[in-house]
Amino acid sequence: MSDSSMSRGSPPTPSPATASAAPPRPTGRAAGPRGDGPRTGGAGQVAAAPAAGSGADDGLLASLAPLLTEWLPRQRWFAGKGRPISGFTLVSATELLPCTARDGAAGLLHLLVRAHQDPDEDTEGGAGDEADGDPGGGAGAGANADAGDGSVGRAGQAMAGAERAERGALAKPSSASRARRRGAPEPADCYQLLLGVLPPNPHGAGPPPANRAARAEPGPTAANADANAAANGAGEPVVAREAAAPPRLAHALIGRPATGPLAGALLYEALADPRQAALLLERLRLPGTLGPLRFRRAPGATIEAGLTPRPLAAEQSNSSVVYGDAYILKVFRRIAPGINPDLEVALALTRTGCRRVPPPTAWFEAAGAGAPATLGLLQPYLADCADGWQYALDQLARGADFTAAAHALGQATAEVHLALARSLPTAEIGPPQVEHLTAAMSRRLDAAAGAVPALRPFRRALRGAYADLAALGDSGRAWPAQRIHGDLHLGQALRSTRDGRWSLIDFEGEPASPLAERRRPQPVVRDIAGMLRSFDYAAAVGGGGAHGGPESAAGPREPREWARRSRAAYCAGYAAACGHDPRAEPELLRAYETDKAVYEVLYEARHRPDWLPVPLSAIRRLAGPAARDTA
């Protein structure tokens, strides 16, 4: 699921090529995978990494594998929790700053790496496989993992073959990795890594590593000095004067490779280093091409230089850096070929003049055998905004009414949906699609009930919600489908503290789902159901019902009434903006909200058992007063 990285609270085999990098941009070069050090072309040129799997990547990748095997699973954005890593494939390696400078200056290495893992037979449509965020969009999560597929059933099922083929065009496993597979397909999510590299101090005690002692390395060039100046702000290189890492980077350490071209160097998460984060903004400010990487800026956009970067601490499925109070850069971690919906939707809405979504300022991508893969997106930072989740909790704590804000949020949602319908392809959900959709919802219900006994008494009544929708489909009923947010909840909405205006963010959708699925047209009611469930979560948390104990004297006396009124106001605001009240089609809304609540039950049972009463309360409401059975 996507993170609400804009909010303030809350998974190619490149051919040899050269590309220009004209001054005054920071120069860089593709990292040479062998132990003979990075390779450079002529002035201003870079050489791409050799084909993965050719054996040429053994020096770099083999030396990094032990460190990555330990470090990757600890990252919040790593999707393969609970499954051992069996190997890696190097997709590309590019030096944004030289990583073996003789003066000890810190380097910056950009990697795209595939992590091969054994399949997880117990995963049901991806639901709950990654703890990318809580279903309500709550604090510390900022995202709402969704089990639903919207229009075609189980997550990933319909497009799995096409998506695997598309991913296969981006990289091929090495021969060693293929041997590990033993004839069985093995998931291999591609991750974007930005590694800071502090070389061993050439002036310190002891000789340099043996594989570096006889290497003839180019000295610093004027262009590289400019690159260091841009990255460091003060114009001075970062120097590793001691064997230990600087205290400011202690929390970001990855380790020291024992062999390979970076032997003895200290590796760390580069986004934690303001000097390295500053280089990314400079790349976007003065766009161009560097090996497989392309840095682009929106037409007419200008980016101020010298802004101070501030990494956001609350990482989810991506990582974000705020520059001054002007921009926010979202760095996507799990990479797939093709344009990321977060960029695609923002560009489309900008073309329509919709002001509810911050327009893209710049972005960067990786070229491969297929469509370029979006790697990062720079947008204006809405510094005067609070995210909707925190604002709702604040209102609950004060015992204040939320209906006016919910009404305005409904209007904002409808405006975005209308703009998306004008700017991107639309479709229709007819009888065959409705049959497929409701069958998939039923399968998810059965799987969740099999894992969570507390859900079993409600299965028959909940199946009734899907049957009612299926009956409408059998009668020939159809519904429009279009591009939607795909992961909408209070944490994905920002409210201006100045005028109360709402903006929507994070259109990436559910990162655990294939990219093609996230870009598929779906009924707008899926977004609406997500937001309605978020109101219930806010009421439970703000009223003390989830994990905070009994309601406080200062809190709302009737959190369920607060949620009911907020839900009604949101739907009314939606209708006021587009002329269609989602409550006018109760079968459709109930089916989608039920599917969402079923997912929430499974999520909470797996990750936060103390929160399980929150979705179970919705299950009881959606099932009806006489719903309990033993089916």
Pick from 568, 538, 551, 574: nearest CA to 395? 538
d(CA 226, CA 537): 50
* Token pair listed for 619: 């299950």
DSSP secondary structure string for all residues of 496-537: ETTT--EEE--TT--TTS-HHHHTS-B-THHHHHHHHHHHHH
Q: Which of 227, 69, 129, 82 is nearest to 513 (CA)?
A: 129
Which residue is listed with tokens 């290497």? 215
Inter-residue contact 147 to 598 (CB < 8 Å):
yes
Higher pLDDT, residue 216 or 231: 231
Q: How far is residue 627's CA from residue 458's CA, in Å, rounded to a whole number?
A: 6
Residue 422 has, within 13 A of its CA and on its CB side, a CA count of: 14
Most confidently predicted of 40-44, 58-62, 425-429, 511-515: 425-429
Token pair for residue 603? 């999520």
Nearest C-alpha neighbor of 537 from the set 583, 601, 592, 494: 601
- Please check whether residue 316 is in contact with residue 131, taking contact to mean a CB–CB distance below 8 angstroms: no
Q: How far is CA 520 from the centre of its chain?
A: 18
By CB atoms closer than 10 A (0-12, 13-18, 19+), residue 560 is: middle
Residue 226 confidence class, pLDDT cut points 50, 70, 90: very low
pLDDT at 122 over 60: no
| pLDDT of 92 | 95
Q: For residue 505, give the nearest of 518, 522, 488, 521 by alpha carbon.
A: 488
Sign for the CA dihedral angle at 591, 597, 599, 605 comes to: negative
The two tokens of residue 98 are 């030289």
Give all strands (DSSP E) within 505-607, no chain letters: none
Q: Band of the pLDDT at 350, cuts 50, 70, 90?
A: very high
Contact assessment for residue 469 and residue 588, using Cβ atoms and an 8 Å cutoff: yes
Cis before 98? omega within 30: no
DSSP, res 376? E
- Residue with the larger pLDDT of the pair 509 and 405: 405
Q: Show the tokens assigned to 380.
A: 């204006």
The yes-or-no verdict on residue 2 having pLDDT over 90 is no
CA dist., res. 105 & res. 197, Å (int): 9
Best CA proximity match to 330, nearest among 365, 296, 363, 285? 363
Give 136-166 pLDDT, tens digit per residue. Answer: 665 433 333 333 333 322 222 322 333 333 3
How far is it, in rounded angstroms, from Cα 454 to Cα 456? 6
Q: Which residue has the higher pLDDT, 483 or 220?
A: 483
**Pair of tokens at residue 154:** 């189980």
- For 68-123, what is the HEC assignment? HHHHHHHCCCCCCCCCCEEEEEEEEEEEEECCCCCCCECEEEEEEEEEEECCCCCC
3-class state of residue 268 by DSSP: strand
At 81 the pLDDT is 84
Say if CB 40 and CB 393 are below 8 A apart. no
Q: What is the pLDDT of residue 427?
A: 97
Which stretches within 381-430 are classed as H helix? 388-398, 403-423
Q: Percentage of the chain with pLDDT > 90? A: 61
Counting every residue, how long is the chain? 631
> Is residue 551 within a helix (H) or strand (E), and if so which, with residue range?
none
pLDDT score of 391 more than 80: yes
Q: pTM of the prediction?
A: 0.77
Segment 576-610, tens digit of pLDDT: 999 999 999 999 999 999 999 999 999 999 999 99
Helix (H/G/I), strand (E/B), else coil: 289: strand
DSSP state of 28: -
Segment 449-459, tens digit of pLDDT: 999 999 999 99
Assess contact for 381 and 327: CB atoms under 8 A. yes
CB 484 within 8 A of CB 318: no
Instruction: Give me the residues paired with residue 359 across strands.
Output: none
Phi and psi for 43 in degrees, rounded to 5? -60, 130
Quick one: which of 289, 105, 271 has its CA closest to 195?
271
